[in-house]
Amino acid sequence: KEVKKMAEDSKVSIRSIRREAMDEAKKLQKDNQMTEDELKGAEDKIQKLTDNKIAEIDKILAEKEKEIMSV
């Protein structure tokens, strides 16, 4: 149970960071420091990083659950 909670807390933190990064990118675009295309590219990169990190957490969680079950 504790491992699942840690994994979920980590995912929540990553999503929060994603939201902050997206907001910052939108602010830069609104302030004309970034084009619409650059904003789209930034959003895509931010989402890919988020997806990769969440997949990494899921993999670690699966490994830990397997490890715990074999003890």
Residue 25: burial class (beta carbons within 10 Å; 0-12, 13-18, 19+): buried
Q: Six-digit token pair at 14?
A: 């990553």
Helix (H, G, I), strand (E, B) or coil at 22: helix
C-beta of residue 62 within 8 angstroms of C-beta of residue 53: no
Mean pLDDT of all residues in 17-46: 97
User: Tens of pLDDT along 51-70?
Assistant: 999 999 999 999 999 988 88
- What are the φ/ψ torsions at residue 27 (nearest 5 degrees)? -65, -45
pTM of the model: 0.86
